[in-house]
Amino acid sequence: MNSMNFEGMVKMACAAPIWTVEAEGESWRKMAKACADQGGRLVSIWGSEAAEGFVVFAACVFSEGMLISRCSAVDGKFASLADIFPCAARMQRAVHDMLGARCEGEDERPWLSHGIWPPFPLRKSYDPELDFAPAGGNYPFVAVEGEGVHEIAVGPVHAGIIEPGHFRFQVVGEKVLRLEERLGYKHKGVEKALEGLMQNEGAELAARISGDSTVAYSWAYAMALEALCGVTVSTRAGFLRGIFLERERIVNHLADLGALGNDAGFSFGLAQFSAIREDMLRISKEHFGHRLLMDIVVPGGVSKDIDVKAREAILAECASVREKVLILREIYADHTGLQDRFLATGKVESGLAAKLGLTGLAGRASRNACDLREDHPHAPYDKLDVSMATHHGGDVAARVSVRFDEILESLRLVRAMLEMMPEGEIAREIPGCSGFGAGWVEGFRGEVLLTLEVEKGVIRRAHAHDPSWQNWPALEFAVIGNIVADFPLINKSFNLSYSGHDL
Amino acid sequence: MSAFGFFAQFLQLFLTVLLAPLLLGWVNQCRAWLQNRQGPGIEQPYRKLRKLFRKDAVIAENASPLFRIVPYILFGAMCLAAAIVPSLATDLGFSEAADAIALVGVFALARIFISLAAMDIGTAFGSMGARREMLVGFLAEPALLMVLFTASLISQSTSLTVIVETLAHRHFGIYPSMAFTGIAFLMVLLAENARIPVDNPASHLELTMIHEAMTLEYSARHLALVEWASSIKLFAYVTMGIALFAPWGIAQAADWLGMAFALPILIGKLLVAGCGLAVIETVMAKQRIFRAPEFMGTAFLFGVLGMLVHFLLGA
């Protein structure tokens, strides 16, 4: 029996357990509260323009799955959920930037918008050519006062070639008193660009939301569209998707582990992990035509099959990657200098993690354990018995350890899926259809959500959510009390997306 | 000044300034090999210098003249340092001009100017780098002095040429005091040249930098001079280490034949030293910045131990 029982709850015909419900007036906050009381979490808040005015959606997780509640924003206003889920605050600010619907009494500073494009791009009446007054560059950061306190402004242009983001530190000496982030520099109007695309074209753009999570986003998009059209994919296609997603996870974790060593001045680690990763990417290129597996997961199934040769290559690769990773794990664990940098650095206690709704890999490293593949397994994970990697430390070392565990588990899953995978078709035709659909997939950072409103095969509104939304605010807490020089290492240990967040 | 002294001085300075980037390239190449990478080749620092000298300089609007002058001061100071450390011969024209203590002073002078230039623009990174550089510097200098004092006590002189002559041409013996000071010197060398584990010369993370943070605002010819000066500094330190702890093969006064042998011997030693540096940098990670005082404190302790051992054992 469902532990959440609201009038009008409808289960979506989706691979993942997702319910939708109309939540007018009071029930909007009541439903969020009910999820929070169960120990649930907020995944995303977004807005849309409907025929009758603006509507806002909230996707919360409860014990059986996800509940997407829909509420109309009367006079462009809706009730804030930030007191129930602190991570809602930035999403609500983003709703205002994009759509103009606002929470009363909340932080009124812009979040995604830097005032360089006309306001409210997600409105149907939006005109990009419109004359508008660009906002000044003065974003009011919260300052700390006191003797010896000073500010360090970092970014958005960095000394290395990395994604842009601004970090404002308030420090005394080397010690960080406060960090405030300013993002939005990578905003490229993806959600607006998705509007008006044919439902199959949208898949290509969705695959490019965040290059490192291309399989996760493609799958979420495909799942949303399949839910909307009532198509189920073949068992073989499900397994193929699983294999591609796990490969993406392994490749990204390898890159992160190398980069973490490098950021601690141990460039030997970077060289070794990069070599393993590069070998994997080349196998992907050779057998599936793309190093990052872009456009491989498509609505209705997958575009590339695994033949006998590819199967042999992947099995051999699994064995060799496993062997190398185990050796490197030992080297990392035995390295005094490295462990000295990792241990107790950037600690997020489990209590704080739960309060902030820390999700994905970083959440699991702070004992805030949630992994879709174990909690709400959809095909093919329902046949795999995934064991979630967790750690209680909450520091950089814990996030390193979880990455190692997940690589090993993913290698096991890939082998298991190759064994279990039946023969069969790999893709099915999807007819043009209308409705609302959602896809929910565990990417390498955490849960990725993609929702679609489609009308006769044309996208009316699409929303993509990256787990970085939850974890960026937690990073601000993780650095407090650490020294400035350790920030890059802490930041790397979270490895959050700018591109997937700014959209 | 003898003709030989003049010639030796000129040759040594010329070679040092010219070969210094090559030593850096060698260290980086060895690091790459140790990490199973191909590496960019040992001539990479020269390519970088050529690239930088060809570019137009970008200078902040609020930069004072000091900011422009400092690269030249830095380069000059490092050339002077390289001139007074005996690497090829002990009969050097400049040897009368500056002794071991003055050498430490020359390094300090360069540090003060680069720190001032770093703060000149007023960016957070420059000041942060200058602050950290001063922290490392004021802890490293006493340790370096201890090393030089121990060597001075053995040779009864603070003149670098006399020290090296004494150490190189006394009958072969093992000095326990020099073993301790050797460790101290190596630690100072790593710290003063912004190497791992104190600083990471390859880092692109502005918040973790020490030396690089101070030079972030420099570009083109200014940056080229700063980088060149850094490589000369590394070269001077390594040759100083060779002169103090492995001085065999260095040419004496008016020894033209010795001079001819001194150069290949020096190059051989530099190759070994560069390899050793690369090994240290490969097996170690960068320390937390607040470990630097401990690190330098240990170096100082070893320096003092070396001196104590000298007094106790007379060797």
Does the pLDDT at position B134 exceed 80? yes
Nearest CB to B197 within list A265, A271, A486: A265
Tell me if A263 and B36 make a contact (CB, 8 A cut-off). no
Task: Give A4 or B121, the one with higher predicted confidence.
Answer: B121
pLDDT, one tens digit per residue, over B142-159 is 999 999 998 888 888 888
- Predicted confidence band of residue B163 (pLDDT cuts 50, 70, 90): confident
In this structure, is residue B94 part of a structural domain? yes
- Predicted confidence band of residue B173 (pLDDT cuts 50, 70, 90): low
Query: Mean pLDDT throughout B83-109?
Result: 84
Nearest Cα to A299, choosing from A437, A400, A446, A155?
A: A437
Q: How far is A53 from chain B (nearest CA, A)?
A: 47
Tell me if A265 and B124 make a contact (CB, 8 A cut-off). no
Nearest CB to A485 within list B37, B208, B285: B208
Q: What proportion of chain B, given as a percentage, has pLDDT over 90?
A: 47
What is the rounded distance in angstroms from the CA atom of residue B23 to the CA atom of residue B302?
A: 27
Distances (CA, A) of B11 to B17, B82, B164, B180: 10, 12, 18, 32
pLDDT, one tens digit per residue, over A325-384 is 999 999 999 999 899 999 999 999 999 998 998 999 999 999 888 899 999 998 899 999
Q: How far is A357 from chain B (nearest CA, A)?
A: 28
Look up the domain containing B24 and give its range. Answer: 3-131+195-285
Does the pLDDT at position A1 exceed 60? no
Q: Is B288 on the interface with A (CB under 8 A)?
A: yes
Tell me if A265 and B36 make a contact (CB, 8 A cut-off). no
In this structure, is residue B294 part of a structural domain? no
pLDDT at A104: 83
pTM for this predicted structure: 0.92
CB A447 within 8 A of CB A455: no
Nearest Cα to A144, choosing from A167, A182, A178?
A: A178
pLDDT at A234: 93
Q: How far is A483 from chain B (nearest CA, A)?
A: 9
- Predicted confidence band of residue B263 (pLDDT cuts 50, 70, 90): confident
In this structure, is residue B21 part of a structural domain? yes
In this structure, is residue B293 part of a structural domain? no
Which runs of consecutive H residues, i.e. helices, occur in A22-141? 26-37, 88-99
In this structure, is residue B265 part of a structural domain? yes
Structure-token match 């308030």, residue found: A170
What is the rounded distance in angstroms from the CA atom of residue A209 to the CA atom of residue A191?
A: 10
Q: Is B165 on the interface with A (CB under 8 A)?
A: no
What is the rounded distance in angstroms from the CA atom of residue A31 to the CA atom of residue A353?
A: 22
How many beta carbons lie within 10 A of that of residue A116, not counting itself?
11
- Predicted confidence band of residue B254 (pLDDT cuts 50, 70, 90): low
Which residues share a beta bridge with A251? Answer: none
- Predicted confidence band of residue A251 (pLDDT cuts 50, 70, 90): very high
Q: How far is A252 from chain B (nearest CA, A)?
A: 20
Tell me if B200 and A265 make a contact (CB, 8 A cut-off). yes
What is the rounded distance in angstroms from the CA atom of residue A123 to the CA atom of residue A100?
A: 8
Task: Give A298 or A160, the one with higher predicted confidence.
Answer: A298
Query: Mean pLDDT throughout B93-103?
Result: 82
Q: Is B192 on the interface with A (CB under 8 A)?
A: no
Which residues share a beta bridge with A442? Answer: A447
Q: Is B215 on the interface with A (CB under 8 A)?
A: no
Nearest CB to B289 within list A154, A159, A485: A485
Looking at the structure of chain B, the number of domains it has is 1
pLDDT at B171: 62
Chain A interface test: which of B207, B217, B279, B291 (most A C-beta within 10 Å): B207
In this structure, is residue B138 part of a structural domain? no
Query: Which distant-in-sequence residues (6+ apart) come within 8 Å of A232 by Cβ?
Result: A15, A226
Q: Are strands A297-298 and A301-302 parallel, antiparallel or unpaired?
A: antiparallel
How many beta carbons lie within 10 A of that of residue B54, not counting itself?
10
Taking CA atoms, what residue in A is nearest to B39?
Answer: A271
pLDDT, one tens digit per residue, over A449-471 is 999 999 999 999 999 999 999 99
Taking CA atoms, what residue in A is nearest to B287?
Answer: A337
- As for the ipTM of the complex, it is 0.88
Query: DSSP letter at A230?
Result: T
- Predicted confidence band of residue B262 (pLDDT cuts 50, 70, 90): confident
Distances (CA, A) of A2 to A26, A66, A67, A434, B121: 22, 12, 12, 28, 64
What is the rounded distance in angstroms from the CA atom of residue A276 to the CA atom of residue B246?
A: 41
The full set of domains in chain A, from first to last, is 10-103 (3.30.460.80), 190-502 (1.10.645.10)
Q: Among A209-213, B166-170, B295-299, B308-312, which stretch is predicted with the lowest mean pLDDT?
A: B166-170
Q: Is B38 on the interface with A (CB under 8 A)?
A: no
In this structure, is residue B81 part of a structural domain? yes
pLDDT, one tens digit per residue, over A98-140 is 998 988 888 888 899 888 888 889 988 888 888 888 877 788 8
Does the pLDDT at position B229 exceed 80? yes
pLDDT, one tens digit per residue, over A61-94 is 998 899 999 999 888 899 999 999 999 999 999 9
pLDDT, one tens digit per residue, over A394-424 is 999 999 999 999 999 999 999 999 999 999 9
In this structure, is residue B297 part of a structural domain? no
